[in-house]
Amino acid sequence: MLEKTRKMAVNFQNTVFLESSVVNAVAHRLNWRAEVLIARNPDAIAGKRILDLASHDGRFSYAALACGARHVVGVEGRERHVQSARRNLQVAGCNDDAYEFVAGDLVEFLRGVKSGEFDTIFCFGVFSHLIEQVDVLREIRRIAPGHFILDTFVAKEKRNLLERVRNYRVNSWVDVTQLGKKRRRYGMPRFIRELRAVTTDSAYRTGTLVFLYENAEADGATIRKSGLMAWATPSLVDMLFDYYGFESRMLDWSRQGISDWTDLLDYRKRDRETWIARLPGQLHSSQ
Ligand SMILES: C[S@@+](CC[C@H](N)C(=O)[O-])C[C@H]1O[C@@H](n2cnc3c(N)ncnc32)[C@H](O)[C@@H]1O
């Protein structure tokens, strides 16, 4: 099979990371995630100062160092995972000076980060366990890393035709009442043209945050006792990237060369999506 012959940049087989977590700690999955999220983005990794949000047991901080990162700071809300991460990177033979793990709420932590302190920020597997998606992206914009890599469970996209039509009607009304534009008259051709724009034009996108509960006792869950979390639709993520001035591209997991999708079905079914976002004009270490 393709995976068996392909050399992965990071191999989690027989490492401590398979024992230190019950959260999807499967070598095949970790190898592919490290490959696609990290190894194939050398511009974002080699020689860079990385901030790993929700670093868990250090799995992707380790992968970043293995792929040539200069330094990694991991922030993790559960103290026991922080302890595991420190132990794991030591066992894995990483240089002590190359990493640091901090226990804390990543939303609070981001507020204390200085602009330019990190070249690349990872946000893997935690965006959907928060309710502060807008705050997080605003803070990351302020910190202004060269790259921001987001890998997250997403809500299913909603066409929201009725909301789009309502938005169109509200904007048309504002055009007339507040901007002094002429009231539009509709013939059938114009109606069809406008309807097409409303259904397809990105100006009429809608983004949604779906709020749900999870069991906050679980090792991979939100750290908030209530268990409240929110899943963003991909459109919302795109809209926020646009709003905060990121250039972003969504990765196509079906084109990464994966033939054995065992333990990766969330990517195949697009329940999970990955974006590589950049802030144009940011110059950071070793660029
Ligand atoms: C599903 S795991 C993802 C771990 C890893 N980043 C990955 O992608 O495999 C989510 C992690 O986020 C941590 N977490 C959840 N909410 C957090 C918060 N507000 N601040 C810091 N860590 C948080 C959890 O303790 C858990 O370790």
Give nearest CA residue, ligand 1 atom 1.
220
Q: Within the chain, which residues score under 70 in pLDDT?
A: 1-6, 282-287
Q: Which atom of ligand 1 is nearest to the CA of 78?
A: 25
Element (H, E) at 196: helix 188-200
The answer to whether the CB of 57 is under 6 A from ligand 1 is no
CA of 202 to the centre of ligand 1 (A): 32
SS3 content of the chain, % helix, strand, coil (to 5): 40, 15, 40
Q: Helices 79-91 and 59-66: crossing angle, nearest 10°?
A: 30
Distance CA 262, CA 175 (A): 53
The answer to whether the CB of 276 is under 6 A from ligand 1 is no
The pLDDT value given to residue 188: 82
The answer to whether the CB of 272 is under 6 A from ligand 1 is no
Bridge partners (DSSP) listed for residue 29: none
Q: What angle do CA 46, 270, 243 make, to 5 degrees?
A: 65
Q: List, in order, residues 6 or more apart from 46 with CB less than 8 Å away.
A: 67, 68, 69, 286
The pLDDT value given to residue 1: 43
What does the pLDDT look like over 110-155, one tens digit per residue?
A: 999 999 999 999 999 999 999 999 999 999 999 999 999 999 999 9
Please check whether residue 56 is in contact with residue 21, taking contact to mean a CB–CB distance below 8 angstroms: yes
